Structures are given as structure tokens and as C-alpha cells.
Amino acid sequence: MNEFRNVEKINPFKYILAVDIPYLNLEKGIIINERIKNTILANGIFVIPVYENKAYDMAILDEEQLNEGYYEIKNELTRLERNKYFDKKKLKEISDNISKKMIKNKENLIYLPLKKLQEYDEYTYTHSLNVCVVATLIARNMGLREKMVRKVSFSALIHDIGKTKISNEILNSPNKLNDEEFRIIKNHVRYGYEIALKNKIIDEDVLGGILYHHEKFDGRGYLYNKSDLEIPLVARIITIADVYDALTSKRSYKKPWNNYETISFIIQNVEKIFDKDIVSVFIKIIGLYPPGTKVMLNDYSVGTVVAARETNELQPLIQIGECLIDLKQENKYILKVFKE
């Protein structure tokens, strides 16, 4: 049975929308994140019917840690824009806390909440945090040593610091970039590398993640047209996390893709953009039907994927109303995926 909740008091990710709100393009079954919550409030809706998200307690990171990380990186990148320096120790502390939590968490079921922007100029902050979370999770599941996982985490957190040297007019342009604007955007990887060096970051693995995260496995990326294993491991991990978050985020020039479309894109671009071995690990974590995907089961019931199962990409946990369905335990399977 659904309950009515004051929207202002809803914890992001803890509840699932229990009705359609057509004029806001919000469908019943969507997990209410911070952006959706604020969209509802901005349209004068203050009480809504919801279901409690049964996977909320399975979250790999809690809401408090997400928010703390977001505000810390926002402060440091804002400082960087002003005076060309940031507190390296503070950012390292954020990434280390995330990696420690990931390494400690050995749950087979994963619910991965990611912070999504409210305003376009927040994109770099939320994106940096999300890429850090996803890249760290990949590194952990690859079985890398803790020291290397922490390097991946730190490099992912600061992978886009070069964008602080690019104007918001270009970063948030709703139009297709011209050749000169695209040249400037591409140079953010070099700017980031230079900023890291100025801030006394000298670890080659961390620097490689910043400089090469837009290289593609087939050699068609930028800036250096590296391919295959020429691309450092940290960069190959960050590339997948970077694309996953970018495609599932709303930008000034595009709507967000749903999780299922994004996973499909990543699979289709194995050995074109992505390293197949790292994609294999990523899919085992996120699942073929990531949390938030709206699906129909073979009994024609409709629900929302709320947790992925690391050992079985095809049998996630589905929530239908207040009921939690474990496809591994039930004689049911996913018949159809809905586009959001």
C-alpha cells in the first residue's frame, strides 16, 4: 500500500513514485532522486503518494556521504577557478573515504545511488563524484590491490578538473559546438594534467587517468590517439564510468538516457571505445538491467529494478508497489524494458 509523503521531507533514493505525473514526464515506478524531488516541488506539488524503496538500505554509499562528497568537491573546484589551486589533501580524503567504503562493502546485491544535477552549472561537480563512485566500484571488482583502487578513485574524482579553465558558455551550450569550441573542450584533458602537476600531483597512474580518459580503444579518441593497452589502466576504467554517468545525466543539449539504453550502448562499443575485460566487470556490477530500469515481467506485472546482483546480471531485484521480487527465487523473468 502506498503512503503520502511531504515532498520536502523525502530523502532522495528512499522512495519510489506511486503515480504518473504526465505533465512532468514522470512515470509511476521512478526512483525519486534529488533532481526529481526538486522538479516536483518547483511545479507546486508538495504531497505525493510513494512506495518505500526496499533496496535503500543496500546502497553502496549513503546519502550523507554523497552529499558531503558533492559539497567538498564543489568547494575545491570553485577555489580552483578562483586561484588555480585546490586542497589536494581534502580531495584525496573524499576519494579515500569512498574507496574504503567500497572495499569494505562485500554485499552481493548492489544499489548504486548517484547524485544528479539540479542546475546545468552543477554538472562538473556531480559528474566528478559519480565517476569516482562508479570507477572505484569497477576497480574493486577487478580485484586490484587497495593502493591501486585508491589511485583509480582519486584520479576519477579529479579527471575533469581541466574544465575549470573552460567557460560555462561553452560547457553548457545548448547548441552543437563549432570546430573551435570543440577544440577547446578537447583540451580539458591537457589542462587537467597541467593543473594536477601545479598542485603537486605526480603519481603517473593518477595523471594518466586525467590525461587519457577520452582515448578510445580503437585509437579514435583524443588528444593522443592511443589505442588498446597503450591507454593506461586507470584511464580505461574511468572512460567507462565517465560515459555511463554522462549518458544518464541531463545536460543543456540533451535529455538523459535511461540505464538500459546506456548499458546497451556500452556493450555495443566494446573494443571501439571500451576495453572488453573492464566492460565485463562493469556489467557484472551494474547488471544488464541497472537499478531504476522500469520492466515488465513474464506475468505482465510492471515494476522497477531496485538492486543488481553481482553474480547474475539477468536476475536483479524488482519492486512492484510494496512487494520486492527476487528473480533468482521466483519463476519469473524480464519480458520487456520500458523507455523512460
What is the reported pTM? 0.91
Per-residue pLDDT of the chain (340 residues; tens, 9 = 90+): 679 999 999 998 999 999 999 999 898 999 998 889 999 999 999 999 999 999 998 888 888 888 899 999 999 999 998 888 999 999 999 999 999 998 888 778 888 888 877 666 678 899 999 999 999 999 999 999 999 999 999 999 999 999 999 998 998 888 889 999 999 999 999 999 999 999 999 999 999 999 999 999 999 999 999 999 999 999 999 999 999 999 998 877 788 888 889 999 999 999 999 999 999 999 998 888 988 889 999 999 999 999 998 878 889 999 999 999 999 899 899 999 987 6
Please state, in angstroms and rounded to a whole number, the distance separating the CA atoms of residues 324 and 317.
Answer: 7
Decide: helix, strand or coil at residue 320: strand
- Residue whose entry in the numeric block shows the C-alpha cell 558533492: 70
Distance CA 147, CA 154 (A): 11
> What is the rounded CA–CA span in Å between residue 234 and residue 157?
12
Q: Quick check: helix, strand or coil at residue 15?
A: strand
Report CA dihedral (59, 70, 176, 275) to the nearest 10 degrees: -50
**Please, what sign has the CA dihedral across residues 261, 262, 264, 269?**
positive
Q: Which residues contact 310 (CB under 8 A, 6 or more apart)?
A: 108, 109, 110, 141, 284, 285
> Is beta strand 47-52 parallel, antiparallel or unpaired with respect to 3-6?
antiparallel
Under DSSP, the state recorded for 26 is B
**Three-class SS state of 247:** helix
Read off the pLDDT of residues 53-92 as tens digits, 9 standing for 90 and up: 999 988 888 888 888 999 999 999 999 988 889 999 999 9
What are the Cα distances from residue 131, in Å, to 31, 86, 274? 20, 19, 15
Q: How many residues does the chain have?
A: 340
- Whole-Å CA distances, 112 to 255, 279, 318: 21, 17, 15
Measured between alpha carbons, how far is 76 from 90 in angstroms, rounded to an integer? 8
Handedness of CA 74, 75, 76, 79 (dihedral sign): positive
- What value does the CA radius of gyration of the chain take, rounded to a whole number of Å? 20
